[in-house]
Amino acid sequence: MQTEAKKTEQHAEESVKAINLISFKDVAKIYSGNPLPSLAGLNFEVADGEFFCIVGPSGCGKSTILKIIAGLEEETSGEVVKPDKVAMVFQSGALLPWLNVFENVCLGLKAKGVSNAWMKEEAYKFIEMVGLSDYENKYPRDLSGGQRQRVGLARALAVSPKVLLLDEPFSALDTGTTEELHKDLIKIWKTTKKTIVMVSHSIEEAVSLAGRIMLMKSGKEKNIYNIELPYPRRELEADFIHHVQTIRKEFFK
């Protein structure tokens, strides 16, 4: 029989495993014809319900990580633990131009084969959540860039993913629209309690949103920073500036 100490230790280990939805251990990714690996011995974990952001220079492997989590790429070596149910929001929104907002949001639900009643209920719920209740019959050509990203976000949320992947979703938007979407994204994250993994080219954006930020260089994690600031975060506050300057110093080192 197991001793009480052993049982307690086993329970603690199982709890730790349950907390981390994503784990990369010594992960490498090498593309054919490229002499340099996209990922080279990468190690990190993402906890259930966490907002985790990845920053780093172009070509450091940020988007490759998202593709591996999404199942669009396979690691060359190492161990990856990830849930099956993930959804991605792309930089362009990736909407089908011949479908209206409602129809675009329903795409993933249709693929899952859910009933029409359930599909309609879920689609309208998330269209409302992203603030587009009055736009359900509009087509992508009639929407602003920010609105198209909202549709992409609603479509991703509608399939009830364990992990929401965001690949520089706001990089093509103006400052005002981006700030508005930041506020809405934090609200959605708190409401849905989804795990979010986001790639960003902006350190300020990462500090505005994430609980932890991983800085990458040459396919490896250079450092991981805890951002323990209350929301909403103000870019002119001393603690915010301190985090940005600390990460930027390592970024350019």
pLDDT value of position 18:
46
Peptide bond into 97 cis (omega under 30): no
pLDDT value of position 114:
85
Q: Which of 148, 152, 158, 66 is nearest to 112 (CA)?
A: 158
Distance in angstroms (rounded) separating the CA atoms of residues 204 and 24 = 25
Residue 148 CB contacts under 8 Å (≥ 6 apart), including other chains = 93, 95, 140
Distance in angstroms (rounded) separating the CA atoms of residues 171 and 103 = 25
Helix (H, G, I), strand (E, B) or coil at 196: strand
pLDDT value of position 113:
83
Q: CB–CB of 55/203 below 8 Å?
A: yes
- How confident is the chain (253 residues) per 10-residue block, as mean pLDDT? 45 52 96 86 96 93 94 95 93 87 93 88 94 95 94 94 94 90 95 96 96 94 95 93 96 84
What domains, with CATH codes, occur in the chain? 21-251 (3.40.50.300)
pLDDT value of position 2:
45
Angstrom distances, CA of residue 232 to CA of 82, 155, 174, 192, 235: 30, 25, 19, 18, 10
pLDDT value of position 214:
97
